Amino acid sequence: MNCIINRRAQFSASHRYWLPELSVGENNQRFGACTRAPGHGHNYVLYVSMVGELDEYGMVLNLSDVKHIIKREVTSQLDFSYLNEAWQEFDQTLPTTENIARVIWKRLAPHLPLVRIQLFEHPDLWSNYYGNNMEAYLTISTHFSAAHRLARPDLSYEENCEIYGKCARPNGHGHNYHLEVTIKGEIDPRTGMIADLVAFQKAVDDYVVEPFDHTFLNKDVAYFADVVPTAEHIAIHIRDLLCGPIQEIGAQLYKVKLIESPNNSCEVYCTEPEKMSSVAQVREATLVG
């Protein structure tokens, strides 16, 4: 039986986005505050996903061995380091979140049966890498607060209550929506980026957060005049709003995840969800200890 296991690790490090072939003004325009010398730091959180057959002891791998491999190959070298100078891979390609994840894969792949590297630079910014050359995934998370009412205009109040329950009450109700937007693309061999992170964040803010925040969706967002603003419909509309702007910044929108409450969320894709491998349907075990 195959099983995917996930091992968590962490390290603290600093880095700087700066290309010597660009002028000060060009660096500032491209990288903003990330150009400031001598750099800035993060508490990185790393998840290493591995796959294998269960052995006679009920394990895919000995976690003590996994822990020591990750420490030896990655965290002992990166913890409290200046990433630009820590590894030779960062001499030519900047240590962005997505590129660090790619290089960590390269360092661990000879030792572990990897299926994914997930690296959090911040709780609101992370990258997934699946070993596919220079292709990587980058996710930002944000939020907006809005009210809505779930009711179809062609149905009576009683019929809507039958379908939507309390959500059909005439004055609506509100949520603090949590939004995760994932893009995919090729890592630029010089900048280390899938796309300009500032432009990515601006697209999400301009097309979603600003128009949706502190609104009554049914009345303030034209799309929902005729569409019931369920979490599913909201996520689909956000996907449709962002596909074009994300293409304009040189990436592809991959996934939109909308968390309406701790108990209710949905995900929509620009294409059919990609399978990580033939083991995508086996159970996942998260091992943190």
List pLDDT tens digits, range 149-189.
999 999 999 999 999 999 999 999 999 999 999 999 999 99
Tokens at residue 184, please? 């995919």
- Mean pLDDT value of segment 180-204: 97
118-152 pLDDT, tens digit per residue, is 999 999 999 999 999 999 999 999 999 999 999 99
**Domains in the chain with CATH codes:** 1-131 (3.30.479.10), 133-273 (3.30.479.10)
Catalytic residue numbers read: 167, 214, 260
3-state helix vs strand vs coil in the chain, percent to 5: 35, 35, 35
237-262 pLDDT, tens digit per residue, is 999 999 999 999 999 999 999 999 99
92-107 pLDDT, tens digit per residue, is 999 999 999 999 999 9
Assign 272 a pLDDT band (cuts: 50, 70, 90): low
- Max Cα-Cα span within the chain: 68
* Overall pTM surpassing 0.85 (yes/no): yes
Which of 20-24, 221-225, 280-284 is predicted least confidently?
280-284
Cα radius of gyration rounded to whole Å, the chain: 22
CA 75/CA 104 separation, integer angstroms = 10
Query: What is the dihedral sign for C-alpha 164, 165, 166, 171?
Result: positive
Chain centroid to Cα 69, Å, comes to 26
